[in-house]
């Protein structure tokens, strides 16, 4: 999910599970006394029921004072209450119970290594009794993007202002108030915030009442929340404005800085429509009276799904007619769809522990596409989902990939499997009847509302439905060809999915056709750096719901389905066919390899009759053949041969996949001083046929945007000339002439090539109020080949004033693409590593992106050694991060790829 969900993990708790420290460390509390609890996970002998929280942030001094009363219930007799607290200065703590006539002061032991405190009770705490723990404390607002933090922004009069907001997922609620900070400890919350009169506040629940408490200070009190996890608690103190609309007794509001209120209407319409969709789809009402979506001026992730108070970065919520492109519209819609899905998946039903976070995230990403397909079919987001699957498979085919669910997992590694899960859910949905799938989800949400789940709960809920469904049907409909595969009348979803969740990577299916027989065989698909005679681990076995289409396919019967749950099998066709294509629309999570003759037949089919295959199937064939080139199963020349048909291709999905693959190769060879590869791509007349407008269907607009961006960056056709002309006109009008949004970035990029143009663009960047426009400008600014300017951009963004730090990973990504930039970007990352991980946290998407983009274009032994040595010199933990392992493996694969294909490439040129 293009980094949608905010998820960055505290580096202070690397192994949240099952850590047992040596005794001498256990004793090392801040006051030297023995800490009574040795584990990282909290004990379950005391559970929280309710929190009364009062906070008073001071935006001038950036300190805050807090007071919390936690009502707990005792499950097992104990003398201690263990809970979380991080960086809080505790000034007073008392304990009270219905049976006691007054509150008793209690001792608090702190154990910072685990972010835990222990409250030592004066008497034994009795089973079944409720106690109320009161704690007064103070702390500072954070200057990172995590916890209770502050950011500055310029208001409509260009005055600097402060805003305080929260980002608690996964482990930062404890830095705002002492709490049982684990997702399964759900409780109710009553939040009160004291603030200056001129500010306003928001929290998960609607505001009940505001009362004056001192001169110039008032207190806002919010309604009591539903039972929820601590990481979903949120509050904001700011001066934002909103527009609202009611639907089904819920008031939906979009909040932004006052000067950006003109850009929130699209978000409001979208949020209302999607909220209505989800309530119908899940058959469960959204349970709160209000839902706020807030654009925060400086925000690290894409968005965060806090219950009733979703926070976004501005580019993922605001939409401006004049400057937002067709793709920007898709992005905003997708992020809203994702975060709204979390209001059910994640908020209503929550994973019991972080190792099942993929349950939340995979489902939210999957639902995001389902919701958009149904609610906004004109956006054609099924093609975006296809792109996501391409991207995810590339990652999962590395040796550094891990099983989705594994027993011991560090928190930094959990967040990286979400997109795989979304792809697997699609495969499952296509395989079982759609109605059963939907009923399974509904069942799951109903069974576990306000509770916590493990992954088995999901498959069990699915199984209940699929079994029932099949029994009541009694016979098979066309859409459920799968039933043919069901043994003993039941389809065991759990058994099938476990082969995908518990093993790492995904399969390669090799198909050999002989007459009417199709011989299919599975093995693990792995882009390996080992020698050619490497054979895959024989123990890998997936239950693969194969799908295929043939030349004789009628729409009545197609696609065909076959469950491959053995290493190999033979499928008998009813009659001989001219061609066969597996993995229809790439709905399945596997790569397909054919025998030489069948590849040639498919390549020929593309040339003679491309529309015999769907656009997704065409895009898939391109992706599939380049994946096979990567593991040496198919020659690069054959893949290029397949691309020859592109002259006749007029759809975005195949074209953009082809250009993506070529860019990967181009980027590599360019860094080795080879050029002109792109000129060979047969886009010829397509480039000059494009109009520089926003006209046409969404698909035509995307096609134009993709083709022209590629053409201009590789100096093809008239692209550069036209773009430069348009930039000159725009500059001459002092930026008042409106540019077509879909080609805006291409025009800016052409303009940024001259010093004059670059300076002008920078001045426009600093004054623009549209984040969509600024985003395009920044990308253009970072595409210059002027080394001084590139360094200045990265440095300025790290400082975070003129260019916000939230843009930094994107800037580094753009800088890395150019020949002069890619070495600079890596130097910058090395030099500023400590600052980067302080600002963004290890394990954050920003850090993952930075590591990936600054290294993925290296293809020499010298760079390999340098990157390896650098990360190893940092720490064991850093060198074990998945993104670091992936970076190293990618360089090794690049070296190997060059060895294998450089000669062929030179010949082709
Ligand atoms: Zn999410």
Q: What is the chain's length?
A: 909
Residue 908, SS3? helix
Cis ω for the linkage preceding 559 (within 30 of 0): yes
What pairing do the DSSP bridges indicate for beta strands 506-514 and 217-222? Answer: unpaired
Among candidate residues 697, 681, 781, 683, the one with its CA nearest the CA of residue 742: 697
The dihedral formed by the CA atoms of 411, 417, 421 and 422, expressed in degrees to the nearest 10: 110
CA 658 to the chain's CA centroid: 24
Cα–Cα distance between 582 and 590 in angstroms, integer?
10
pLDDT at 14: 30
pLDDT at 236: 97
pLDDT < 50 regions, the chain? 1-26, 407-414, 468, 470-489, 531-534
Cβ–Cβ under 8 Å, residues 590 and 508: yes
Q: How far does residue 8's CA lie from ligand 1's centre (Å)?
A: 12
Cα–Cα distance between 822 and 817 in angstroms, integer?
6
Q: How far does residue 365's CA lie from ligand 1's centre (Å)?
A: 7
Q: How far does residue 193's CA lie from ligand 1's centre (Å)?
A: 27
Task: Show the tokens assigned to 197.
Answer: 């009169």
**What is the DSSP code (8-state) at residue 894?**
H
pLDDT at 490: 58
Distance set, CA 847 to CA 688, 829, 835, 854 (Å): 40, 10, 11, 11
Distance set, CA 26 to CA 10, 32, 178, 181 (Å): 21, 10, 20, 20
pLDDT at 408: 38
Cβ–Cβ under 8 Å, residues 450 and 348: yes
Q: Tell the residue number behind the tokens 């069942």, with chain if given.
A: 443
Sign of CA dihedral 89, 94, 95, 97: negative
Q: How far does residue 871's CA lie from ligand 1's centre (Å)?
A: 29
Angle of helix 698-713 relative to helix 326-342, nearest 10 degrees, comes to: 120
Which residues, at least 6 apart from 647, have a Cβ–Cβ distance to it below 8 Å?
Answer: 682, 684
Cβ–Cβ under 8 Å, residues 82 and 118: yes
Cα–Cα distance between 393 and 144 in angstroms, integer?
32
Among candidate residues 137, 81, 83, 146, the one with its CA nearest the CA of residue 115: 83
Q: How far does residue 364's CA lie from ligand 1's centre (Å)?
A: 6
Residue ranges near ligand 1 (ion) with Cβ within 5 Å? 5, 361, 364
**Is residue 342 annotated as involved in ligand binding?**
yes
Cβ–Cβ under 8 Å, residues 576 and 515: yes
Among candidate residues 711, 661, 664, the one with its CA nearest the CA of residue 690: 711
Cβ–Cβ under 8 Å, residues 268 and 343: no
Cα–Cα distance between 44 and 778 in angstroms, integer?
50
Cis ω for the linkage preceding 170 (within 30 of 0): yes
Among candidate residues 681, 615, 697, the one with its CA nearest the CA of residue 653: 615
Q: How far does residue 231's CA lie from ligand 1's centre (Å)?
A: 13
pTM value > 0.75:
yes
Task: Show the tokens assigned to 456.
Answer: 């088995």
**Is residue 361 annotated as involved in ligand binding?**
yes
Cα–Cα distance between 900 and 897 in angstroms, integer?
5
**Is residue 822 annotated as involved in ligand binding?**
no
Active centre residues (catalytic): 339
Q: How far does residue 4's CA lie from ligand 1's centre (Å)?
A: 6
Cβ–Cβ under 8 Å, residues 60 and 140: no
Cβ–Cβ under 8 Å, residues 158 and 173: no
Which residues, at least 6 apart from 24, have a Cβ–Cβ distance to it below 8 Å?
Answer: none
**350: β partners:** 452
Cα–Cα distance between 286 and 272 in angstroms, integer?
12
Q: Residue 647 CB: number of other CB atoms within 10 A?
A: 13
Q: In degrees, to the nearest 5, what angle opens at C-alpha 225 toward C-alphas 147 and 131?
A: 85
pLDDT at 143: 86
Distance set, CA 471 to CA 460, 466, 475 (Å): 17, 9, 9
Which residues, at least 6 apart from 418, have a Cβ–Cβ distance to it below 8 Å?
Answer: 1, 5, 357, 358, 361, 362, 365
Q: How far does residue 596's CA lie from ligand 1's centre (Å)?
A: 42
């Amino acid at each position: 999910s293009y980094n949608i969900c905010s998820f960055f993990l505290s580096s202070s708790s690397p192994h949240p599970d099952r850590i047992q420290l040596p005794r001498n460390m256990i004793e090392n509390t801040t006051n030297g006394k023995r800490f009574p609890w040795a584990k990282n996970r909290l004990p379950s002998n005391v559970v929280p029921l309710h929190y009364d929280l009062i906070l008073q942030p001071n935006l001038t001094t950036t300190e805050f004072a807090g007071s919390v009363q936690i009502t707990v219930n005792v499950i097992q007799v104990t003398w201690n209450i263990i809970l979380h607290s991080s960086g809080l200065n505790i000034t007073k703590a008392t304990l009270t119970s219905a049976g006691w006539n007054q509150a008793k002061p209690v001792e608090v032991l702190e154990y910072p290594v685990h972010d835990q405190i222990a409250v030592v009770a004066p008497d034994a705490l009795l089973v079944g009794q409720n106690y109320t723990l009161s704690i007064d404390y103070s702390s500072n607002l954070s200057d990172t993007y995590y916890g209770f933090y502050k950011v500055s922004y310029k208001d409509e009069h260009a005055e600097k202002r402060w805003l305080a907001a929260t980002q608690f997922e996964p482990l930062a609620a404890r830095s705002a108030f002492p709490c049982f900070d684990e997702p399964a400890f759900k409780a109710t919350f009553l939040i009160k915030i004291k603030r200056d009169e001129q500010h306003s506040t928001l929290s998960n629940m609607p505001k009940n009442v505001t009362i004056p408490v001192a001169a110039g200070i008032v207190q806002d009190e919010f309604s009591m929340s539903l039972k929820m996890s601590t990481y979903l608690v949120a509050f904001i103190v700011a001066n934002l404005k909103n527009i609202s609309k009611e639907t089904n007794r819920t008031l939906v509001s979009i909040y932004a800085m006052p000067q950006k209120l003109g850009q929130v209407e699209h978000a409001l319409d979208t949020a209302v429509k999607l909220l209505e969709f989800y309530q119908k789809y899940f058959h469960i009402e959204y349970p709160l009276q209000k839902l706020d979506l807030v654009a925060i001026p400086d925000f690290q992730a894409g968005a965060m799904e806090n219950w009733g108070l979703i926070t976004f970065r501005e580019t993922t919520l605001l939409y401006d007619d004049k400057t937002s492109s067709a793709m920007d519209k898709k992005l905003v819609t997708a992020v809203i769809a994702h975060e709204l899905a979390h209001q059910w998946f994640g908020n209503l039903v929550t994973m019991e522990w972080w190792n099942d976070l993929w349950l939340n995230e995979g489902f939210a990403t999957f639902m995001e596409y389902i919701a958009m397909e149904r609610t906004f079919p004109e956006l054609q987001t099924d093609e975006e989902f296809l792109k996501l699957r391409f991207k995810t498979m590339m990652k999962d085919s590395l040796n550094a990939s891990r099983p989705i669910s594994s027993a011991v997992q560090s928190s930094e590694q959990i967040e990286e499997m979400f997109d795989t899960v979304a792809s697997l859910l699609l495969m499952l949905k296509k395989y079982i009847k759609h109605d059963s799938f939907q009923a399974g989800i509904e069942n799951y949400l109903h069974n576990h509302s306000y509770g916590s789940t493990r992954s088995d709960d999901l498959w069990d809920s699915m199984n209940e439905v699929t079994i029932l469904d099949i029994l009541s049907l009694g016979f098979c409909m066309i859409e459920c060809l799968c039933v043919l595969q069901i043994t003993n009348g039941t389809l065991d979803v759990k058994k099938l999915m476990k082969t995908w969740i518990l093993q790492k990577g995904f399969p390669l299916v090799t198909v050999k056709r002989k007459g009417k027989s199709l011989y299919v065989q599975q093995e693990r698909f792995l882009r390996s750096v080992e020698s050619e005679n490497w054979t895959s681990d024989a123990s890998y076995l997936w239950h693969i719901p194969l799908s295929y289409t043939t030349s004789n396919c009628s729409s009545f019967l197609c696609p065909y389905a076959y469950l491959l749950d053995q290493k190999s099998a033979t499928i008998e066709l009813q009659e001989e066919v001219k061609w066969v294509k597996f993995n229809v629309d790439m709905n399945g999570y596997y790569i397909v390899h054919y025998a030489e003759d069948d590849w040639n037949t498919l390549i020929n089919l593309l040339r003679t009759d491309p529309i015999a295959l769907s656009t997704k199937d065409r895009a898939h064939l391109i992706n599939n053949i380049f994946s096979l080139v990567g593991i040496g199963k198919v020659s690069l020349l054959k893949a290029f041969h397949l691309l020859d048909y592109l002259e006749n291709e007029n759809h975005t999905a195949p074209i953009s996949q082809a250009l993506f693959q070529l860019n990967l190769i181009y980027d590599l060879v360019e860094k080795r001083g080879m050029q002109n590869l792109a000129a060979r791509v047969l886009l010829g007349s397509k480039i000059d046929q494009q109009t520089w407008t926003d006209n046409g269907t969404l698909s035509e607009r995307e096609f134009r945007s993709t083709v022209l961006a590629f053409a201009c960056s590789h100096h093809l056709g008239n692209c550069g000339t036209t773009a430069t002309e348009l930039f000159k006109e725009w500059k001459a009008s002092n930026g008042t002439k409106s540019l077509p949004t879909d080609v805006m970035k291409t025009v800016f990029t052409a303009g940024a090539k001259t010093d004059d143009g670059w300076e002008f663009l920078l001045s426009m960047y600093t004054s623009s109020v549209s984040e969509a426009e600024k985003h395009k400008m920044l990308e253009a600014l970072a595409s210059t080949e002027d080394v001084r300017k590139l360094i200045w951009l990265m440095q300025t963004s790290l400082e975070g004033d003129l260019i916000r730090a939230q843009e930094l990973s994107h800037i580094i990504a753009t800088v890395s693409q150019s020949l002069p930039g890619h070495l600079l970007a890596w130097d910058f990352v090395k030099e500023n590593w400590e600052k980067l991980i302080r600002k963004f946290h290890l394990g954050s998407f920003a850090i993952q992106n930075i590591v990936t983009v600054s290294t993925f274009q290296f293809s020499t032994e010298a760079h390999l050694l340098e990157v390896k040595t650098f990360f190893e010199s940092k720490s064991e933990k850093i060198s074990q991060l998945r993104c670091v392992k992936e970076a190293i493996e990618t360089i090794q694969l690049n070296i190997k790829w060059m060895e294998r294909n450089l000669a062929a490439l030179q010949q082709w040129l």
